[in-house]
Amino acid sequence: MTEVLPDWDILDRRLLADRSPFARVYDEDVRLPDGTVISQWLRVELPAFIIVFTVLEDGSVPFVRQYRQGARTWTLELPAGHIEDGEEMLTAAQRELREEAGIAADEWQYLGKYIMDANRDCGWCHAYLARGSRRIIENPDSGDVGDFSLHWLPLDDVRRRWLAGEFISAPTSLAIGLALAQL
Amino acid sequence: MTEVLPDWDILDRRLLADRSPFARVYDEDVRLPDGTVISQWLRVELPAFIIVFTVLEDGSVPFVRQYRQGARTWTLELPAGHIEDGEEMLTAAQRELREEAGIAADEWQYLGKYIMDANRDCGWCHAYLARGSRRIIENPDSGDVGDFSLHWLPLDDVRRRWLAGEFISAPTSLAIGLALAQL
């Protein structure tokens, strides 16, 4: 059996929109192993981000509530944020949990990396489960744009809402599923 | 307490790239409830899609293996695909399960809708769990571009690989988590 070529050749790549550091959009012309050429394959490069699930000793899970322009609605999401230039992934996770929820944690378990759109990129999500959490800042200030509030949901409620599809942000529901399976 | 305005005003919206029906990229200028104006908020409109988890009577779960240009690698993913113009969501799910895996199913449970990027859109994922599945086509032809193969994984193996982060496509790992919690 002939070995299939491992990937598609990128023949050309053109920057269509540069909103660095938040987004870069490209057209790519690609050649498949069978010779087929596809032009203008849109690629959307968004920054890698981390997302964190944690439970406090009292059984509550921190969520942030925000208006989200992409979703055109308000969401409840796990603490999350971009990995900054040169920043370690774990450092980013610890920073976001502190900035958004005012929490520090003793143990950090990596739950994997996930591409948001396998066709177009749209960014990699790195999920964490933090254990041994405690509040270190009473009223954290995330510095994010727009209206932003912190909410504490009991673990049972998180599971019920997750199963009911109430957490409409994909990275949040993905990370909740992975974390609940570890608890 | 003053009621917070429910959303952000879209002051202007400009099409940057039109790759219909696969993708449309916009710049949006938005005004937040506090008056702050943000220009060039990039929005990436990708088609809504369905994704299906099912288990055959013999305990095997169908996956598709493909090279994925966005991820720059090969992935194992659940059967999934775009909802076509005018198509019912459930019809799309049934069609994709038949086309990609050669399977028909008796019961369809909706597991919710999830936006892939709450900031920029990047498409809505609609997840399904199909029960009472049986193979109706021995060698299905998905019609998708590129190298494409169908794989059957035992349910226990799916759970183990999911927890290990082996399913790097976010919609697949999201839907696996939701489905396993229902089984």
pLDDT value of position B143: 73
Q: Chain B: nearest CA to A67, how far in angstroms?
A: 6
**Any B CB within 8 A of A35 CB:** no
- The 10s digit of each residue's pLDDT in A4-16 is 556 899 999 999 9
The more confident residue out of B144 and B57 is B57
pLDDT value of position A143: 73
Q: Tell me the one-letter amino acid at B64.
A: V
pLDDT value of position B141: 79
Tell me the pLDDT band of A97, cut-offs 50, 70 and 90: very high
pLDDT value of position B152: 96
Give the mean pLDDT of A170-175.
98
Please give the structure tokens belonging to residue A116. 């948001």
pLDDT value of position A1: 41
Residue B60 has pLDDT above 90, yes or no: yes
Tell me the pLDDT band of B42, cut-offs 50, 70 and 90: very high
CA A6 distance to own-chain centroid: 28
Nearest to B117 by CA among A124, A99, A147, A89: A124
Find, in chain A, the residue whose alpha carbon is nearest to that of B30.
A69
Nearest to A100 by CA among A57, A58, A59, A133: A133
- Which of B156, B174, B176 has the highest number of chain A CBs within 10 A, making it the mutation to test binding with A? B174
pLDDT value of position B51: 98
pLDDT value of position B5: 54
What is B49-182's CATH number? 3.90.79.10
pLDDT value of position B2: 47
Tell me the pLDDT band of B142, cut-offs 50, 70 and 90: confident
DSSP secondary structure, A77-117, as one string: E-SEEEPPTT--HHHHHHHHHHHHH-EEEEEEEEEEEEEEE
Could you tell me which residues are beta bridge partners of residue A97? none
Residue B3 has pLDDT above 60, yes or no: no
What average pLDDT does chain A have?
A: 94
Which B residues, 117 through 156, put their C-beta within 8 Å of a C-beta on chain A? 117-123, 125, 145-147
Q: B68: which residues sit within 8 A by CB, 6+ positions away?
A: A115, A118, A119, B74, B75, B169
Domains of chain A by residue range: 9-45, 49-180
Give the mean pLDDT of A91-112.
97
- A177, HSE (Cβ side, Cα atoms, 13 Å): 31
pTM to 2 decimal places? 0.95
Q: Chain B: nearest CA to A70, how far in angstroms?
A: 4
pLDDT value of position A170: 98
pLDDT value of position B4: 52
pLDDT value of position B7: 85
CB contact under 8 A, A181 and B182: no
The more confident residue out of B148 and B25 is B25
Q: How far apart are CA B152 and CA B180, in angstroms?
A: 16
Give the mean pLDDT of B60-76.
95
CB contact under 8 A, B112 and A173: yes
pLDDT value of position B139: 83
Give the range among A39-48, A151-160, B140-149 with minimum mean pLDDT: B140-149
Give the range among B34-38, B48-52, B154-158 with minimum mean pLDDT: B34-38
- Which of A9, A15, A63, A122 has the highest number of chain B CBs within 10 A, making it the mutation to test binding with B? A122
pLDDT value of position B148: 83
pLDDT value of position A166: 98
Tell me the pLDDT band of A148, cut-offs 50, 70 and 90: confident
**Which chain A residues touch B125 with a CB distance below 8 Å?**
170
**Any B CB within 8 A of A115 CB:** yes
pLDDT value of position B1: 41
pLDDT value of position B24: 98
Does the domain at A49-180 match CATH 3.90.79.10? Answer given as yes
- The 10s digit of each residue's pLDDT in B86-130 is 999 999 999 999 999 999 999 999 999 999 999 999 999 999 999
CB contact under 8 A, A23 and B42: yes
CA A44 distance to own-chain centroid: 15
**Any A CB within 8 A of B64 CB:** no
Sign for the pseudo-dihedral over CA of B134, B137, B143, B149: positive
- Which of B10, B116, B160, B183 has the highest number of chain A CBs within 10 A, making it the mutation to test binding with A? B116
What average pLDDT does chain B have?
A: 94
